[in-house]
Amino acid sequence: MSAERLLLICLFLQGGLALSRNFWHITDLHWDPSYDLSNDPKRVCNSSGIRPAVQAGPYGDHACDSPWNLINSSIHAMKDILPNPDFIVWTGDDTPHVPNQLLGEESVLRIIGNLTDIITEVFPGTKVYPALGNHDYHPKSQLPGGPSYMYDQTAEKWKHWLDLESHQTFKNGGYYTEKLLNRAGFRMLVLNTNLYYESNKVTQNDEDPAGQFSWADGVLTQAAARKEKVYIIGHVPPGMFEKKRSKPWYRPQFNMRYLELIQKHHAVIKGQFFGHHHTDAFRMFYDSNDSPISTMFLSPAVTPWETTLPGVKKGANNPGIRIFEYDTQTLLVQDVVTYYLNLTRANAGRDRWEKEYRLTESFQVADASPASMHQVLKGISEDRCRLQQYYQFNSVNFDLSECDKECRADHVCASREVDFHLYERCLAIEAAGAGLSGGLLSILSMAASILFLFARQ
C-alpha cells in the first residue's frame, strides 16, 4: 500500500476526510405495454386516452406513458453514466395511466416484475430500495392498511432486495426499514405514503392506516437512541402540487401527522426522496423558529406523460433520472445531478441522455443541505432569472414559457409550506405583495416572516 493511500485511509478513519459517494434515484417509470407505433395517432397507446399521440416515436410521446424502448434506454443510461452506485432508490408508479378495467392484479404484478427484472439484470450486484407507488396496486390508489395478496406477491418479487424482517413488514402494510447498506449507524426508512393519498378511499376513515405513523415514530425514536442517521423514501409526497393551486395529495389529518413526524425527528433525518409529481421540485421543512430542518427532494419522472389533471397547463416533462451525491459520514446530500432525454431529439434518432444540471453549480450553493436549499428557495423567490431557471428544470426542459407572478406564487408557496394553512397564507401574502415594490414590499416581507413565525409556534 502506498504512503498516500495509507494517509487517506487514516484521515478518513479519524474523521478528517469526508468522502462523497453516489446513488441513483428513479421514479414514475409508468411502462405502457400497449405502446405501438401506428398510423392512427389515437391508437398508439392506451395511456393517451382520447388524446392523439401526434409526435409518437420509438421513445414515446408526451400523450403516452413510457414505451419499453424508453424504459430500456433509461436503465442502461444509468449504467453508462454511473455503473457502480452505492445503491438505487426506486420510488414507484410502474403501470400506465389507464382505467382499472384495462389492468388487473396479474397485469400490475407482471409490469412490476418486468421492471424489477431489468433493473436486476443491468445492476446485478447493486442494492435497490423499492417503494410502492399508487399505480402499483389494483385497483390503483386503493392500497389497504393491512395484509393483502398484492403486498405478498410484490414482496416475493423484491425478496432478493429485502432482508427477512423487511419482507415480513412489507407484507403487512407495504413499508419497511433496513440498515442502509447494512452499515451500523445508517438507516433507510421506506414508507407506503399511498395510505395517506386523498384518492385512497380504503383508508380515508383510518386514524393511522397500517399503524405506519406509530411504527415510523418508533423506528425514528430508536434511531435517535442508537445515534443512527436516516434517509426516508416514499412515493406520494405531502404538501401541495406546484402546477395546480391548492391541490393537495394527502388528506389533511395525514398531512399534519407527516409534518409533525419530520419536525419531531428531524435531527436524525438526513434526506427525504419522493416522486409522484413527475416534476423536478423540492419541499422545505422548518422548525418553530423558522429554521430549515429538512428537505424533501421530488425527482422527475421517466415517463413523459402529460397529466390530465384539470387546470394544469403544459403538465408534461422530458424523461429524467437523477444522481445524489452524499457525505459518507454524515449522510447529508452534497449535490444533485439530473440527466434527461430530449424526447423530440431522441425520436429523431439522437437518443442521448444529457446532463441537465448540477444543483450546486446552477443555484450557486455549497451543497444540498436544508440550509442551502433554503437559500435556493430564497433565490427563486427574489430573483426572476433564478425563478425562470428553476421553472425550466421543473419540467425537465419541456416547458420553456415564462413563469409569471401567479406561477411564481404557486412554486414558491408549494416549496416553502408543506402545512396546508401556511400554504394558503403564503398565497395570500404573495397576492398582496404583487405589484408592490421598495419599502412597502420590504415591510410586507417582514410582516410575513413574523406571521410565519407565530403560526408555527
The CATH number covering residue 198 comes to 3.60.21.10
DSSP 95: S
Q: Mean pLDDT across the stretch 271-294?
A: 97
Q: Report the C-alpha gap between 191 and 130 in whole angstroms.
A: 10
Q: Does 4 fall in a domain?
A: no
| Beta-sheet pairing, 269-274 with 127-130 | unpaired
C-alpha separations of 134 from 71, 152, 197, 243, 451 in Å:
19, 16, 8, 19, 36
Categorize the per-residue pLDDT at 447 as very low, low, confident or very high, splitting at 50, 70 and 90: low
User: Which candidate, 91, 81, 48, places its Cα nearest to that of 302?
Assistant: 91
Q: Report the C-alpha gap between 144 and 200 in whole angstroms.
A: 9
pLDDT of residue 18: 54
pLDDT of residue 20: 82
Same domain, 426 and 411: no
Q: Report the C-alpha gap between 69 and 73 in whole angstroms.
A: 6
**pLDDT value at 442 more than 80:** no
For 283, the 3-state DSSP assignment is strand
CB 271 within 8 A of CB 231: yes
CB 303 within 8 A of CB 30: yes
What's the grid cell of residue 448? Answer: 410575513
CB 173 within 8 A of CB 154: no
Same domain, 379 and 446: no
Q: Does 304 fall in a domain?
A: yes
**pLDDT value at 188 more than 50:** yes
Same domain, 225 and 346: yes
pLDDT, one tens digit per residue, over 10-44 is 434 444 445 889 999 999 999 999 999 988 999 99
Q: Report the C-alpha gap between 71 and 394 in whole angstroms.
A: 21
Same domain, 247 and 386: yes
Cell 419522472 belongs to residue: 301
Same domain, 401 and 435: no
Same domain, 208 and 341: yes
pTM of the model: 0.92
Cell 397576492 belongs to residue: 431
Q: Report the C-alpha gap between 171 and 150 in whole angstroms.
A: 8
Q: Mean pLDDT across the stretch 161-178?
A: 97
pLDDT of residue 14: 44
Q: Report the C-alpha gap between 425 and 419 in whole angstroms.
A: 10
One-letter amino acid identity for 147?
P
Angle at 95 between CA 92 and CA 97, to 5 degrees: 115
What's the grid cell of residue 322? Answer: 437523477
Q: Mean pLDDT across the stretch 385-394?
A: 97
For 301, the 3-state DSSP assignment is coil
Same domain, 449 and 382: no
pLDDT of residue 110: 98
Q: What is the 3-state secondary structure (H, E, C) of 342-404?
A: CHHHHHCCCCCCEEEEEHHHHHCCCCCCHHHHHHHHHHHHHCHHHHHHHHHHHCCCCCCCCCC
The range of the structural domain enclosing residue 450 comes to: 422-457
Same domain, 326 and 444: no
> How many separate domains does the chain show?
2
pLDDT of residue 351: 76
Q: Does 86 fall in a domain?
A: yes
pLDDT, one tens digit per residue, over 315-372 is 999 999 999 999 999 999 999 999 999 999 999 998 799 999 999 999 999 999 999 9
**pLDDT value at 437 more than 60:** no
Phi, then psi, of 240 in degrees rounded to 5? -110, 155
Same domain, 303 and 441: no
Q: Does 274 fall in a domain?
A: yes
Same domain, 410 and 436: no
HSE-CB for 367 with a 13 A CA cutoff = 14
Q: Mean pLDDT across the stretch 416-445?
A: 76
Percent of the chain scoring above 70 in pLDDT = 91
Angle at 90 between CA 123 and CA 271, to 5 degrees: 115
Same domain, 229 and 83: yes
What's the grid cell of residue 164? Answer: 427477512
**pLDDT value at 456 more than 90:** no
User: Which candidate, 256, 255, 292, 267, places its Cα nearest to that of 452?
Assistant: 292
Same domain, 250 and 127: yes
Q: Mean pLDDT across the stretch 237-244?
A: 98
